[in-house]
C-alpha cells in the first residue's frame, strides 16, 4: 500500500470523527485536544532530546495535556487564573531543574525548552476550543464552522502545495529546512486556500452560521492562514532537521507522527482566532 493510499484512508476515517467531536464540543473536544497535545508534546521533546537538549519531558507532557482541560474549565465558569498558573508551572520547573539538573545541566535551556513544548502544543491547540465557543458563534453549527474554516484552509494549502509543487515546482522554497517544498507549491497552496475560503464563507458560513466575511476580509484571512500554515510546517521541519529525523514519529499511517499532522494547525488556529475576531460580520 502506497503512502498516499495510507494517508487517504486515514483522512477518510479521521476527518468525520474530528468534525463530530468539534460539533459535540464540551468535554469531548477538550479531551481530544488534550490527547493530541500530550502526544504532540512527547514527540516535540523527543526531537529536542535528539538535538542534544534535556527537557523535563514528563512534566511537559502533563502540562501540555492539562492546558486544553484548563481552557475547558474556564469556559465552564470555573476560576482558572491563566497567568498565575503559568507562573506556578515555571516555578515548579525551575525547582525540578535545580534538583535534577543543577548548574551543570544547562537549567536555562532545560526549563526554556520544556515551557516552549507546552505553549507550542497544548497552548496552540487550545485555540480550537476558543474558536468553537467564539463570542460571535451562536450554536454548535456556527462554532463548528469557525473551527472548520482554518482547518479546511490548512488542508487546502497542503493539497495545493502538493499538486502544484509536483506539477510546476522547480525553484526550492527553503531547501536548507525542507528540500521538497517549492515556490510554485507555496503559491499554488495559497491560491487553493483563497478559493476554498470564498466558497466556504458563501455556502457554509452565511447560511448555517449566519456569519460572514467581506470579500476583502475573506482574501486577507485566506492569505494569512495559508502563509501561517506553511510557516508552521517549515518550523516543524526545522526541528526535525536539527534532530536528524524525517518524521516526528510513526504513529499515524502515511502521516508520520501527531506533530507532523498538526504542525500547520499550531499556527493557523491562533492566527484564525485573532483574525476572525476582527473580520467577522453578520451574514447579509
- Rounded Cα distance between 119 and 125, Å, is 9
| Global confidence as pTM | 0.93
pLDDT at 100: 85
Residue 7: the pLDDT is 67
Question: What is the model's pLDDT at position 251?
Answer: 87
Instruction: Convert the pLDDT of each residue in 164-201 to its tens digit.
Output: 888 786 788 888 888 888 899 999 999 999 999 999 99
Cα separations in angstroms, 83 against 19, 123, 127, 132, 271: 31, 13, 16, 22, 21
Mean pLDDT by 10 residues, the chain (284 residues): 66 85 96 97 97 94 95 84 80 92 87 96 96 92 95 92 81 83 91 96 94 96 97 95 91 84 96 96 89
Q: Are 229 and 264 in contact (CB under 8 A)?
A: yes
The Cα–Cα gap between 101 and 103 comes to 7
**Which residues sit opposite 211 in a β-bridge?**
282
Q: How far apart are CA 249 and CA 85, in angstroms?
A: 30
Res 165: pLDDT: 84
pLDDT digits (tens, 9 = 90+) for 211-229: 999 999 999 999 999 999 9
Domain ranges of the chain: 3-282
DSSP for residue 53: -
Is the Cβ–Cβ distance between 29 and 122 less than 8 Å?
no
pLDDT for residue 205: 95
Distance in angstroms (rounded) separating the CA atoms of residues 17 and 36: 14
Tell which phi-psi region holds residue 139, choosing left (phi > 0), alpha (psi between -120 and 50) or beta: left
pLDDT value, residue 56? 95
Q: Which long-range contacts (CB under 8 A, 24 or more apart) does 26-32 make?
A: 26/72, 27/72, 29/72, 29/128, 29/129, 29/132, 30/68, 30/69, 30/71, 30/72, 30/129, 31/69
Looking at residue 114, what is its pLDDT? Answer: 96
What pLDDT does 140 receive?
A: 93
Amino acid at each position: 500500500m502506497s503512502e498516499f493510499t495510507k494517508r487517504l484512508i486515514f483522512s477518510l476515517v479521521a476527518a468525520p470523527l474530528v468534525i463530530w467531536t468539534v460539533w459535540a464540543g464540551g468535554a469531548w473536544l477538550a479531551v481530544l485536544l488534550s490527547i493530541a497535545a500530550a502526544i504532540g508534546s512527547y514527540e516535540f521533546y523527543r526531537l529536542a532530546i535528539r538535538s542534544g537538549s534535556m527537557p523535563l519531558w514528563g512534566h511537559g507532557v502533563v502540562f501540555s495535556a492539562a492546558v486544553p482541560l484548563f481552557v475547558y474549565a474556564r469556559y465552564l465558569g470555573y476560576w482558572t487564573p491563566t497567568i498565575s498558573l503559568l507562573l506556578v508551572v515555571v516555578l515548579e520547573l525551575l525547582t525540578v531543574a535545580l534538583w535534577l539538573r543543577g548548574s551543570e545541566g544547562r537549567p536555562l535551556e532545560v526549563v526554556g525548552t520544556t515551557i516552549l513544548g507546552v505553549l507550542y502544543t497544548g497552548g496552540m491547540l487550545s485555540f480550537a476550543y476558543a474558536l468553537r465557543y467564539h463570542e460571535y458563534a451562536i450554536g454548535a453549527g456556527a462554532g463548528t464552522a469557525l473551527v472548520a474554516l482554518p482547518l479546511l484552509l490548512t488542508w487546502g494549502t497542503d493539497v495545493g502545495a502538493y499538486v502544484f509543487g509536483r506539477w510546476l515546482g522547480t525553484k526550492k522554497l527553503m531547501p536548507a529546512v525542507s528540500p521538497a517544498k517549492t515556490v510554485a507549491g507555496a503559491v499554488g497552496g495559497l491560491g487553493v486556500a483563497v478559493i476554498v475560503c470564498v466558497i466556504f464563507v458563501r455556502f457554509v458560513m452565511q447560511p448555517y452560521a449566519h456569519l460572514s466575511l467581506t470579500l476583502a476580509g475573506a482574501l486577507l484571512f485566506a492569505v494569512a492562514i495559508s502563509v501561517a500554515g506553511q510557516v508552521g510546517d517549515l518550523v516543524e521541519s526545522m526541528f526535525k532537521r536539527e534532530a536528524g529525523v524525517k518524521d516526528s514519529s510513526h504513529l499515524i499511517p502515511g502521516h508520520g507522527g501527531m506533530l507532523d499532522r498538526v504542525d500547520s494547525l499550531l499556527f493557523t488556529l491562533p492566527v484564525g482566532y485573532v483574525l476572525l475576531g476582527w473580520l467577522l460580520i453578520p451574514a447579509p
